[in-house]
Chains A and B, each alone.
Chain A
């Protein structure tokens, strides 16, 4: 089983739609969770950190479910500019600040 698993997509949605991605992680001791956004041929950029029960930032909401070992990202009112690959990232708490990256979920928002 991979340490971090994501549906690669692509998720094709129209502008204004609400879309949600899930990500599962295998290490129950994991402490920190993040969503990064990566545009084509660019570096990943931090979108949100996910702590304890989750958090919200504008149109973006991240949730953590420790019992089922998954995190989710909800995007409301999708914009064309939201088209990107969303990386689920986990700190497995292995003794140093190592992050494990999922392969990403691709989102395409169309007019």
Chain B
């Protein structure tokens, strides 16, 4: 079955540590996205990538970094510079070619202690 996977589902880290969240898709989608969701708030765009080896900052990129070395993979690193990293992180992909719907992975819930 085609889809988007994110791992781990739950992640606990100590303050000051960097952590990398995995996102893999086998939908052959070109564009991939990272969002953050906080309680009572809408999804906010962190980074996006339209093609391999290219990515752009979203609305709240400070304290985050990404890479896009393969079409299937778009990992997100939450660095120690992110002031409030505890949140629900969602990865999404989009087929392009006139289809604008984004499809989401199951998310990673990060808690920084």
Interface residues of A (CB under 8 A from B): 4, 8, 32, 34, 41-46, 49, 87, 91, 96-104
Contacts and interface: CB of A to CB of B under 8 A. Distances in A.
Contact of A97 (B41, B96, B107): B96
A43 B43 CA distance: 11
Contact of A43 (B42, B94, B106): B106
A98 B45 contact: yes
Interface stretch (B14-22, B68-76, B77-85, B97-105): B97-105
Nearest to B94: A97
Nearest to A102: B42
B50 interface: yes
B37 to A, nearest CB: 9
Interface centre among A43, A98, A104 (most CB of B within 10 A): A43
B42 A101 contact: yes
A91 B102 CA distance: 11
A72 to B, nearest CB: 18
A43 B90 contact: yes
A44 B104 contact: yes
Contact of B42 (A32, A34, A98, A104): A104
Contacts of A103: 40-42
Contacts of B45: 98
10 contacts: A34-B100, A34-B101, A41-B109, A42-B107, A43-B104, A97-B50, A97-B100, A97-B102, A98-B58, A102-B42
A45 B104 contact: yes
A97 B90 contact: no
Contact of B43 (A42, A44, A45): A44
B50 A96 contact: yes
B28 to A, nearest CB: 16
B64 interface: no
B103 A46 contact: yes
Contacts of B103: 46
A61 to B, nearest CB: 18
